[in-house]
């Protein structure tokens, strides 16, 4: 896709593309070389209001669609996305800077999320309850909340769009999506696909633009009943305050500084593989990356040698080459953050065991040791291919260090001792724990989310039934 002589791609509102008031547009760049990728309509509060109104109007009838209809439309969408996998893989490579292995994984995962949402349709149910009063029938049922605001990130734009839109649609709600300004084309093409799958006009709407400029107009819109956001902790807390003011339901999936603990009895090859995958998928631009690794001293030298050897061989080539793992960092802002963290660590005495250099917009995978608490990378999320490795005496010290964080999203441990694994799982302060597996793990039905500054609430098919519906209590008095 190029920008030469092409018309700007419009917002998706009420089943069709539309321009912005005044014809405002912005350019989306390919992060590999910062070349123009697409021109997209730039939204304002005006377009946001049109989108929310369209979703609200559609909700009046969509909420009453049959389970058969919603199941069929979701099944159509999953099949169509699978058929058009190559198109979305290309978009993920050229717009989001994904290596082909990550792009293929993300597209496949998106298909599975939509298919999982099909099962939600018949799970939106209530139950009958006993009553204190003779002749009273007491029951509950669930009703869709209404318009759901879906705010998605740049790093996994298709995964988040598929999960959050499909789950909302499965429960009978309608959607207004605000994608990252770095990856709006993926969101707009996905919305088109849902329309082609049969979803009524207005059921899914997308407004493109800068979230810092127009995000509040979506979150605070009086017709928006629920908000789900994936992004930075700073923005998430701002959204939480706005939702609290209007008493709106909110789900937040925010940042992470995720720990990986490796004990002496771990299988070294498995631990190294998990540490590589858990950190460097999508060049560390993942909220669940294990950017803090704590290795027990008995295995530390051997682990460092094997780990840095594996890291130094990660491919940094053509994104369409299956051997390539490390792609570009999404923007200048993110690149400067990574450079600052590495420079600050160096200046304060950290050792760069491997990496630290750049090739265009790509940061070579970087392993740091001798990292101390006064360094930015110690506690702050770098969101790039930079990992700190620490030596610890035992599990006790590893747990204390792992819990020394304001974040609590994902975590992992490698050990062959059942008691150590269970103790870690119980004591670690995080929303997700993986034993002998990487921190970068997700499935459609699981409760995905964290604690502390890593989020509020959970995503997933079961969790979203609670998040996206209202429970209503109904009684009917009969004559005895």
Report, as an integer, the average pLDDT of 412-433: 98
Is residue 348 one of the residues assigned to a domain? Answer: yes
Is residue 309 one of the residues assigned to a domain? Answer: yes
Report, as an integer, the average pLDDT of 337-347: 98
Separation CA 103–CA 84 (nearest Å)? 13
- Look at the chain and report how many structural domains it folds into: 2
Q: What's the pLDDT at 6?
A: 58
SS (H, E, C) 37-86: EEEEECCCHHHHHHHHHHHHHHHHHHCCCCHHHHHHHHHHHHHHHHHCHH
Is residue 5 one of the residues assigned to a domain? Answer: no
Task: Report the Cα–Cα distance between both ends of the chain, in Å, rounded.
Answer: 71
Is residue 449 one of the residues assigned to a domain? Answer: no
Measured at the CA of 168, the angle between CA 192 and CA 162, to 5 degrees, comes to: 50
What's the pLDDT tens digit per position in 49-103? 999 999 999 999 999 999 999 999 999 999 999 999 999 999 999 999 999 999 9
Q: What's the pLDDT at 7?
A: 77
Question: What CATH number does the domain containing 190 carry?
Answer: 3.40.605.10
Report, as an integer, the average pLDDT of 18-32: 96
Report, as an integer, the average pLDDT of 432-444: 96
One domain, residues 167 and 263: no
Average pLDDT, the chain: 96
One domain, residues 76 and 108: yes
Separation CA 379–CA 393 (nearest Å)? 21
Is residue 432 one of the residues assigned to a domain? Answer: yes
| pLDDT of residue 348 exceeding 70 | yes
Question: In 262-381, which ranges are continuous DSSP H helix?
Answer: 268-280, 300-312, 332-347, 376-379
One domain, residues 211 and 287: no
Structure tokens at 136: 């009273």
Is residue 2 one of the residues assigned to a domain? Answer: no
Annotated active-site residue in 243, 287, 363, 377: 287
One domain, residues 152 and 178: yes
| pLDDT of residue 4 exceeding 50 | no
Measured at the CA of 330, the angle between CA 327 and CA 336, to 5 degrees, comes to: 105
One domain, residues 247 and 273: no
The model's pTM is 0.95
Is residue 1 one of the residues assigned to a domain? Answer: no
Report, as an integer, the average pLDDT of 412-422: 98
Question: For this structure, is 287 an active site residue?
Answer: yes
Q: Which residue has the higher pLDDT, 291 or 2?
A: 291
Question: What CATH number does the domain containing 437 carry?
Answer: 3.40.309.10
Tell me the CA distances in angstroms from 152 to 81, 211, 215, 227, 254, one per residue in order: 18, 10, 11, 11, 11
Question: For this structure, is 83 an active site residue?
Answer: no
Annotated active-site residue in 42, 47, 253, 459: 253
Q: What's the pLDDT at 290?
A: 97
Q: What's the pLDDT at 5?
A: 43
Structure tokens at 374: 């006064």
One domain, residues 314 and 370: yes
One domain, residues 174 and 284: no
Q: pLDDT class for 480, splitting at 50, 70, 90?
A: confident
Give residue 312's domain range.
259-444
Report, as an integer, the average pLDDT of 333-361: 97
Is residue 480 one of the residues assigned to a domain? Answer: no
| pLDDT of residue 37 exceeding 50 | yes
Q: What's the pLDDT at 1?
A: 43
Tell me the CA distances in angstroms from 458 to 25, 179, 226, 239, one per residue in order: 35, 20, 14, 16
């Amino acid at each position: 896709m190029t920008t030469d002589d092409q018309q700007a791609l419009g917002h998706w509102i009420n089943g069709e593309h539309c321009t912005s008031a005044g014809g405002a547009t912005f350019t989306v760049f390919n992060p590999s070389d910062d070349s123009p990728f697409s021109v997209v309509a730039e939204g304002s509060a005006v377009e946001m209001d049109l989108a929310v109104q369209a979703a609200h109007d559609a909700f009046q009838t969509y909420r009453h669609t049959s389970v058969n209809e919603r199941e069929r439309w979701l099944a159509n969408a999953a099949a169509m996305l699978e058929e058009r996998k190559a198109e979305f893989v290309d978009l993920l490579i050229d717009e989001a800077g994904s290596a082909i292995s990550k792009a293929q994984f993300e597209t496949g995962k998106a298909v599975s999320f939509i298919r999982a949402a099909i099962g939600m349709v018949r799970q939106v149910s209530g139950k009958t309850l006993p009553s204190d009063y003779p002749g009273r029938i007491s029951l509950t049922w669930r009703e869709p909340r209404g318009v759901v605001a879906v705010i998605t990130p740049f790093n996994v734009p298709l995964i988040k769009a598929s999960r959050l839109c499909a789950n909302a649609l499965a429960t009978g709600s309608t959607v207004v999506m605000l994608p990252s300004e770095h990856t709006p084309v993926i969101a707009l093409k996905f919305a088109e696909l849902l329309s082609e799958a049969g979803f009524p006009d207005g059921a899914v709407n997308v407004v493109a633009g800068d979230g810092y400029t127009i995000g509040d107009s979506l979150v605070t819109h009086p017709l928006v009943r629920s908000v789900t956001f994936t992004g930075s902790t700073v923005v998430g807390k701002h959204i939480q305050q706005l939702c609290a003011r209007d008493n709106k339901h909110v789900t937040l999936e925010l940042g992470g500084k995720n720990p990986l603990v490796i004990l002496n009895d771990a299988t070294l090859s498995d631990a190294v593989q998990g540490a590589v995958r858990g950190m460097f998928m999508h060049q560390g631009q993942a909220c669940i990356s294990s950017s803090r690794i704590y290795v027990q001293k008995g295995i530390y030298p051997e682990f460092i040698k094997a780990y840095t050897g594996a890291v130094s061989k990660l491919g940094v080539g053509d994104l369409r080459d299956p051997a390539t793992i490390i792609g570009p960092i999404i923007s200048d802002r993110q690149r400067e953050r990574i450079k600052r963290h590495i420079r600050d660590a160096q200046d304060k005495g950290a050792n760069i065991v491997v990496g630290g250099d750049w090739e265009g917009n790509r940061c070579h995978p970087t392993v740091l040791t001798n990292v101390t608490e006064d360094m930015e990378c110690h506690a702050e999320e770098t969101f790039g291919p930079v990992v700190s490795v620490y030596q610890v005496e035992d599990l006790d010290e590893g747990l204390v260090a792992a819990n020394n964080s304001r974040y609590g999203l994902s975590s992992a441990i490698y050990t062959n001792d059942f008691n150590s694994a269970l103790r870690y799982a119980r004591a670690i302060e995080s929303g997700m724990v993986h034993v002998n597996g990487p921190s970068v793990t997700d499935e459609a039905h699981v409760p995905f989310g964290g604690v502390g500054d890593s989020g509020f609430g959970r995503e997933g098919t079961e969790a979203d039934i609670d998040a996206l519906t209202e429970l209503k209590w109904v009684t009917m008095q009969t004559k005895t």
